Structure 1
Amino acid sequence: MNNPIVLIVIAQMFGTSLWFSTNGVLKQIEGIWSLSVSDLGNLTNSVQFGFIIGTLLFTITGFADKFKPSRIVMLCCFLGATFNAFIIFGEIPFSFVIFSRLVVGIALAGIYPIGMKLIISWDPQKAPNTLGLLVGMLVLGSSLPYLIRALGISFDWQYTVILTSGLCYIAGITIYLIGDGPHLITNKKSSFRLLDQFSELLKNKNYLASAVGYFGHMWELYAFWTCVPILISISISQHQIHDQEFLVSLLSFLIIGLGFVSCVLGGILAKSLNSSRIASLSLAFSLSICVIYPLAGNLYFFIDLGLLIVWGFFVISDSPQFSAISARVCPQHLVGTALTTQNCIGFSISMITIFLTTSFYESLGLYFVWILLPGPVLGLIFFCRQFGFLKLKTI
């Protein structure tokens, strides 16, 4: 196949739909198992924990670079789809539901970061563009549950889960049939030395700077997405606007979903501006809005909304560019390990800020968003020390 990129991106979207399979049906699941608020949090966090465990396993074992990425993605699609479907049986205990979502998270570690390596193997030169499209699709999927809630659309939760599992099976078969790209490089060593691999990555100053920039981005990203409905609710309540539930859901979809546009646009602009410029400028704009928001927030509703829209645009546009830079500058036989390590640490960091922001937003008021500042500030400093800012190296 001459240009399988579009099919791979669509297959990746189908595969990663497991991430969001329960987001739009939490209310129905809550009634079936009589869940508390903490139970719902555990249901959501179990996927994140599973993803961290999965990326850690791929990093420690070196499987990300030992085996063909198309085979890994296929097997993980089948594993994730199967365990995702297990929860349709309402008579199973909730503890098994948590376990099944944990396994789904582990499987996603072999679908998303390994999928990035797969797509790069077809055309490394277009990595900023193709990864922008891939991450953009994931952003769109993350925002869809808010649109469904805003429109009042309801589905039988079991059909929703079965559909996502079916799509994931299709994704696995599609990736298997497409196979690996002509630029794939695997680690030919018969055994893996974990410390040697990490040492090789840590000695690579370009990779280290890109990874730290990504960690700073992840400190902010998922916590911001979690806080978007909170910030909209505070603004709507402050200005006494009606239809609060509808507006919170609709505007959350628009603000988060706008990241699809920024990821795709960032990938296109990276051809002329280069990835390092897009990444650093995105991080700088994002942290600037983070500083400004609590100072200007709640003056007028449309000022709040405008700031959140700009923030939602820039908070994600650097993500695919950091991944593209890391994949390009790291040792090419360790691309899979480099990306899974980066994802593992990044998602672990995101759980810290989600906990901090949701714990302190009531006591700190709008200033709780400044909890998000240290990550982008430190990430930008470390990244720009290596790549510069206004006079950037071509990466």
Structure 2
Amino acid sequence: MKKILPIIVSSQFLCTSLWFAGNSVASDIVRDLHLAPGFLAHLTSAVQFGFIVGTFIFALLTIADRFSPSAVFFYSALLAAASNLGIVIEGLQEIHLLGFRFFTGFFLAGIYPVGMKIASDYFDKGLGKSLGYLVGALVLGTSFPHLLKTFSGDLPWAYVIYATTVLSVLGGLLIYLFVPDGPYRRSMQKLKFKAVTKGFENSNLRAAVLGYFGHMWELYAFWAFIPIMLANYNAWMPSANLNIAFLSFLIIAAGALSCAVGGIISQYAGPSKVAFTALLLSGICCLMSPFFMLSSSSSLLVAFLFFWGMVVTADSPQFSALVAQHSKETSRGTNLTLVNCLGFSSTIVSIQLLNFLSTIISPQYLYLFLGVGPLIGTIAMYLERKPIMIR
């Protein structure tokens, strides 16, 4: 049992490296194919939209609860890897690139929420801590392509795609070979469409979902625009000469540490308190962002973004823990998948909103609009503070 969590965490890290693989090389793709600068937002949204459609279908068909989660994870990892590899094919048009990224996101629906389902089948107690490590692996995996890009030197951008493809296949194999179905798994024998909505009759679950929705409004837009933030700062303050790829990796990867630490703290304070505090702090970061984006000190900006990168993710595993704890054993996988679907739906809106606003307002004030999500989430959690205050 002690070996299971490190394997799940490692697999999650390896497979979710696919998520921002396209983003890490987007500038190269834009340059080589002569695309508009705003293509980065479309590339990110394609993955998010694919994930939304995938999680909706997985939840509707209750796949994670009717079939072996380990098998679902494995086959999804292979299909996501194949979709990721597709963007290196020569002669692709913009629509083809977006299509391959869509299907990468679609099959990630069988990796991220299913990985949480696998963890919940093994760790009935202390789930917040276990999911802290698991979501931390997702964060690290998301940031990893930026690190690959940093050290790829003069190699073609396709090598980042090759590397992340191999990592996904390896991650799927680890789950398939070494992680059988967990002792707390309860299989749903029949397809039940009502399972998709029935769980949300629980007010505790609804409160956690609203908090998660606000968290997701901010998270992926922040991640997607980190390279743009740094590039804009370099343009405004040329003497800064910030290393965009490496700093993007560090800022995103910082969230892996906060997820793990937040998971440990949740053992004593409870997942809802950790989630609420992190969501509040990240909302404050949104409001404070113009001050730091206009700072003449690049070190101060980087320190601020590093802190923001930590608090913006610390609540994610705790929201998932709350969802799992308030779900029936037979529909836990479906609820986790559906909540992911709802949360990621907000990411497309926030990413495209920032993309549009970037054409009409100064970039230093752009990220104020991300504060809408944490505001909604914290209000929802405060109003429901008694029902969800659990340990």
Q: TM-score, normalised by structure 1?
A: 0.88
What is the aligned partner in structure 2 of residue 354 from structure 1?
351
What is the aligned partner in structure 2 of residue 134 from structure 1?
134
Which of 267, 273, 277 pairs up with 1:277?
273
Pairwise mapping of residues 361-372 of structure 1 onto structure 2 (< 5 A)?
A: 361=358, 363-365=360-362, 366-372=364-370
8 Å contact from structure 2 (residues 219, 313) kept in 1: yes
Once the 2 structures are TM-superposed, how far is the Cα of residue 341 of structure 1 from its aligned partner?
A: 1.0
State which drifts further: 279-288 or 29-38.
Answer: 29-38
Q: Deviations over 1:168-211 (max 9, x none)?
A: 222222212221111112223x231x3x3244222101111001
What is the aligned partner in structure 2 of residue 221 from structure 1?
219
Pairwise mapping of residues 280-291 of structure 1 onto structure 2 (< 5 A)?
A: 280-291=276-287
Q: Percent identity?
A: 34
Q: Deviations over 1:69-111 (max 9, x none)?
A: 1111112112222333344432566644433332221111011
8 Å contact from structure 2 (residues 52, 106) kept in 1: yes
8 Å contact from structure 2 (residues 130, 263) kept in 1: yes
Q: Aligned with 2:191: secondary structure?
A: coil
Pairwise mapping of residues 187-266 of structure 1 onto structure 2 (< 5 A)?
A: 187-188=188-189, 190-192=190-192, 194=193, 196-238=194-236, 240-242=237-239, 244=241, 246-266=242-262
The AA in structure 2 aligned to 1:284 is L
Which of 295, 310, 326 pairs up with 2:323?
326
8 Å contact from structure 1 (residues 42, 98) kept in 2: yes
Q: Deviations over 1:29-80 (max 9, x none)?
A: 4466554445555444322221111001012212222212111111211222
Q: Aligned with 1:90: secondary structure?
A: coil
8 Å contact from structure 2 (residues 12, 141) kept in 1: no
Q: Aligned with 2:153: secondary structure?
A: coil
Q: Distance in 2 between matches of 1:183 and 1:230?
A: 44
What is the aligned partner in structure 1 of residue 376 from structure 2?
378
The AA in structure 2 aligned to 1:348 is S
Q: Distance in 2 between matches of 1:235 and 1:185?
A: 51
Q: Distance in 2 between matches of 1:83 and 1:307?
A: 35
8 Å contact from structure 1 (residues 227, 358) kept in 2: no
What is the aligned partner in structure 1 of residue 180 from structure 2?
179
> Post-superposition, which runs of at least 4 consecutive aligned residues in structure 1 deviate over 6 A?
none
Q: Distance in 1 between matches of 2:272 and 2:226?
A: 27
What is the aligned partner in structure 1 of residue 48 from structure 2?
48
Q: Distance in 1 between matches of 2:295 and 2:83?
A: 48
The AA in structure 1 aligned to 2:116 is M
Q: Aligned with 2:18: secondary structure?
A: helix
Q: Aligned with 1:19: secondary structure?
A: coil
Once the 2 structures are TM-superposed, how far is the Cα of residue 307 of structure 1 from its aligned partner?
A: 3.0
Once the 2 structures are TM-superposed, how far is the Cα of residue 337 of structure 1 from its aligned partner?
A: 1.2
Task: Give the number of equivalent residue pairs.
Answer: 388
Q: Distance in 2 between matches of 1:60 and 1:383?
A: 27
- Shift in alpha-carbon separation, 1:294–1:334, aligned structure 2, 3 A: same
Q: Distance in 1 between matches of 2:279 and 2:13?
A: 25
What is the aligned partner in structure 1 of residue 313 from structure 2?
316
Q: Distance in 1 between matches of 2:312 and 2:160?
A: 29
State which drifts further: 78-87 or 279-288.
Answer: 78-87
What is the aligned partner in structure 1 of residue 13 from structure 2?
13
Q: Deviations over 1:6-34 (max 9, x none)?
A: 01111122222222333333455446655
1:165 has 2:174 as partner: no
Q: Distance in 2 between matches of 1:29 and 1:367?
A: 28
Where structure 2 has 5 or more consecutive residues not aligned to the other structure, the ranges are none
Q: Distance in 1 between matches of 2:289 and 2:89?
A: 45
The AA in structure 2 aligned to 1:372 is L
8 Å contact from structure 1 (residues 32, 90) kept in 2: no
Q: Deviations over 1:250-307 (max 9, x none)?
A: 4333322211111111111111121111101101111122223335652442444443
Q: Deviations over 1:207-245 (max 9, x none)?
A: 11001000000111112223333444454555x35252x
Q: Aligned with 2:183: secondary structure?
A: coil
Once the 2 structures are TM-superposed, how far is the Cα of residue 309 of structure 1 from its aligned partner?
A: 2.7
Q: TM-score, normalised by structure 2?
A: 0.89
Q: Aligned with 2:19: secondary structure?
A: helix
8 Å contact from structure 1 (residues 88, 158) kept in 2: yes
Q: Distance in 1 between matches of 2:235 and 2:91?
A: 41
8 Å contact from structure 1 (residues 297, 303) kept in 2: no
1:268 has 2:264 as partner: yes
Q: Distance in 1 between matches of 2:92 and 2:359?
A: 37
- Shift in alpha-carbon separation, 1:289–1:30, aligned structure 2, 3 A: closer
What is the aligned partner in structure 1 of residue 294 from structure 2?
298
Q: Distance in 2 between matches of 1:235 and 1:28?
A: 20
Q: Deviations over 1:121-162 (max 9, x none)?
A: 111213212211122122223223444555562434444433
8 Å contact from structure 2 (residues 287, 371) kept in 1: yes
Q: Distance in 1 between matches of 2:7 and 2:54?
A: 25
8 Å contact from structure 1 (residues 55, 341) kept in 2: yes
What is the aligned partner in structure 2 of residue 69 from structure 1?
69
